[in-house]
């Protein structure tokens, strides 16, 4: 059955652009000879060729990601859990303690308000941004405009990834510390950029290498990613380090992202400095903070990006397309946490400090080699050379899980510079950490 719209009307013909005569003649031939008449219109439900095998063809940005390094460990851990085995889990830096009760109560109270259930603002509610600015002022002496220099993210990882998407594209290069927290490298790769990894263990050398790379790479690096206290290596820095970073950024024209995820977890009186406290830092970069670690709110997905207003505007633009902001009840409870639970954050740090002491004492007794961390949620330890000679880091981590029921992260999950290392998260209590060390010892007998 013919539809009127299948045949061009005179009005349609009048809308065609003018053509030269030959073209018009060609057009006539083609319309006369091959244009399907109403009754000849092909039936697209009838197959005209052999069916092809359907294949989901993902984008290059997905294809070029390496296999997930923690997959083997996670699968075995899952199987063991299902089989009811008790595994001492030092694998993921996933806090195991709850947030403060008054924060949970505030969430429940806020969620009971019928007016908070709609879409929120993608850059976060103003009172939460204000609270972040207040904390920066109180703790680091940094003045921030909550409207233009702070944005709320769905966890700092989301914000970081989208910031890379906002700043990086094909042909751009970022410098990333090695070993690396995976998203530091792969968010750049997902944005189409290239990565140069520089070893993080000696901070002075790291700065020299940044300068050297800027002098010799063409085009110059566009972005420097830094993360102190560093995950996984636990390296920390003092304010002077950031002062030098700002100077280098201004000299060579690169932007800076500081991932300050472990701002609130520090030991022995050490206070991790903020990149934004260095003079001129907001001219060149931003800093991500989170409520996942110090506040035990990892599942709530609350992070912040603060600093350079143009970079924040670029992130806000991307987020405006991608998300509708965080559930407002969560944001209201986060305000309460920032305002009222600073003492609990300090207490949580002391808990991690005691666990660090227990684990480090145990590993020392085993004769393992490591730096006692001054901050963060991990111990980054070399396992004995005799075992390194026999198997890869991944296989060693699998052995500890398979035979010792102890889960750790193999250092190679953080790049090749992690070969020979294990990252052990301080998320089990002291007794279980002691037990974990005993199980490691027994497994290696
Ligand atoms: C260095 C670093 N940055 C960011 C994150 C992610 O934090 P968030 O929970 O805020 O996304 C983590 C979590 O393990 C981390 O170790």
Helix axes 430-443, 393-404, angle to 10 degrees: 110
Pocket test for ligand 1, best of 183, 292, 330 (most atoms within 8 A of CB): 292
Q: In what order do the strands lie in the sheet with 369-370?
A: 369-370, 378-382, 421-425, 409-410
Q: What is the dihedral of CA 245, 424, 351, 100, to 10 degrees?
A: 80
H or E segment to which residue 287 belongs:
strand 285-290
CA distance 202 to 225: 16
Do the bridges between strand 409-410 and strand 173-178 make them parallel or antiparallel, or are there none, so unpaired? unpaired
Q: Give residue 17's pLDDT.
A: 36
Nearest-CA residue for ligand 1 atom 3 is 261
Q: Give residue 26's pLDDT.
A: 38
CA distance 363 to 68: 28
For residue 181 and ligand 1, the question of a CB distance below 6 A is answered with yes
* Mean pLDDT per 10-residue segment, the chain (445 residues): 35 36 38 51 67 91 85 92 96 96 98 96 96 98 98 98 98 98 96 97 98 97 98 98 98 98 98 98 98 98 98 97 96 98 98 98 97 98 97 96 97 96 98 98 94
Q: Report the SS3 class of residue 216.
A: helix
**Residue 149 and residue 133 in contact, taking contact as beta carbons nearer than 8 Å:** yes
Q: Give residue 8's pLDDT.
A: 34
Whole-structure pTM value: 0.89
Nearest residue to 156 (alpha-carbon basis) of 27, 286, 281, 252: 286
Nearest-CA residue for ligand 1 atom 2 is 261
For residue 287 and ligand 1, the question of a CB distance below 6 A is answered with no
CA distance 419 to 274: 30
- What number does the ligand 1 atom closest to the CA of 227 have? 1
Nearest residue to 376 (alpha-carbon basis) of 238, 258, 228: 228
Considering Cα of 323, then 320, then 60, then 58, what sign does the dihedral take? positive
For residue 303 and ligand 1, the question of a CB distance below 6 A is answered with yes
Q: Give residue 67's pLDDT.
A: 81
Domains annotated on the chain, with CATH: 63-92+344-443 (3.90.1150.10), 101-340 (3.40.640.10)
Q: Give residue 405's pLDDT.
A: 97
For residue 231 and ligand 1, the question of a CB distance below 6 A is answered with yes
The single residue listed with the structure tokens 């750790």 is 408
For residue 229 and ligand 1, the question of a CB distance below 6 A is answered with no
Nearest residue to 128 (alpha-carbon basis) of 144, 105, 112: 144
First and final C-alpha spacing in the chain: 83
Considering Cα of 178, then 184, then 190, then 195, what sign does the dihedral take? negative
**What count of Cα atoms within 13 Å lies in the side-chain half-sphere of residue 378?**
26
H or E segment to which residue 24 belongs:
helix 21-33
CA distance 368 to 420: 11
Q: Give residue 31's pLDDT.
A: 41
Q: How far is the CA of 157 from the centre of ligand 1 (A)?
A: 6
For residue 259 and ligand 1, the question of a CB distance below 6 A is answered with yes
For residue 95 and ligand 1, the question of a CB distance below 6 A is answered with no
């Amino acid at each position: 059955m013919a539809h009127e719209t299948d045949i061009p009307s005179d009005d349609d013909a009048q809308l065609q652009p003018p053509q030269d005569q030959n073209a018009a003649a060609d057009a006539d031939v083609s319309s006369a000879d091959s244009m399907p008449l109403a009754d000849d219109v092909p039936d697209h439900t009838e197959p005209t060729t052999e069916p092809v095998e359907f294949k989901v063809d993902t984008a290059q940005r997905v294809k070029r990601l390496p296999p997930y390094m923690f997959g083997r460990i996670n699968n075995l851990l899952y199987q063991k859990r299902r089989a009811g085995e008790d595994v001492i889990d030092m694998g993921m830096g996933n806090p195991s303690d709850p947030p403060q009760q008054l924060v949970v109560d505030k969430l429940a109270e806020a969620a009971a308000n019928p007016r908070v259930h709609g879409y929120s603002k993608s850059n976060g509610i103003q009172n939460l941004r204000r609270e972040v600015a207040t904390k920066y002022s109180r703790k680091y002496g940094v003045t921030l405009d909550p409207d233009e220099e702070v944005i709320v993210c769905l966890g700092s990882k989301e914000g970081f990834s989208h910031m890379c998407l906002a700043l990086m594209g094909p042909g751009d290069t970022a410098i990333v510390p090695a070993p690396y927290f995976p998203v530091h490298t792969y968010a750049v790769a997902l944005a189409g950029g290239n990565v140069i990894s520089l070893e993080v263990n000696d901070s002075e050398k790291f700065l020299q290498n940044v300068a050297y790379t800027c002098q010799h790479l063409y085009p110059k690096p566009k972005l420097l990613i830094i993360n102190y206290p560093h995950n996984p290596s636990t390296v920390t820095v003092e304010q002077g380090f950031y002062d030098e970073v700002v100077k280098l950024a201004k000299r060579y024209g690169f932007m800076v992202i500081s991932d300050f995820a472990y701002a609130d977890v520090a030991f022995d009186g050490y206070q991790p400095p903020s990149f934004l406290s260095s003079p001129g830092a907001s001219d060149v970069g931003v800093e991500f903070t989170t409520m996942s670690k110090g506040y035990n709110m990892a599942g709530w997905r609350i992070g912040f990006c603060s600093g350079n207003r143009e970079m924040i505007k670029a992130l806000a633009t991307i987020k405006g397309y991608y998300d509708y902001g965080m559930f407002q009840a969560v944001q209201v409870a986060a305000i309460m946490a920032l305002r009222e639970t600073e003492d609990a954050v300090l207490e949580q740090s002391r808990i991690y400090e005691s666990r660090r002491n227990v684990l480090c004492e145990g590993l020392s007794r085993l004769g393992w080699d490591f730096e006692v961390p001054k901050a963060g949620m991990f111990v980054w330890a070399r396992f004995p050379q005799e075992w390194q000679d026999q198997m890869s880091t991944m296989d060693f981590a699998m052995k500890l899980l398979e035979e010792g029921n102890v889960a750790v992260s193999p250092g190679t999950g953080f790049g090749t510079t992690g070969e020979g290392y294990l990252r052990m998260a301080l998320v089990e209590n002291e007794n279980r950490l002691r037990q974990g060390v005993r199980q490691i010892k027994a497994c290696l007998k």
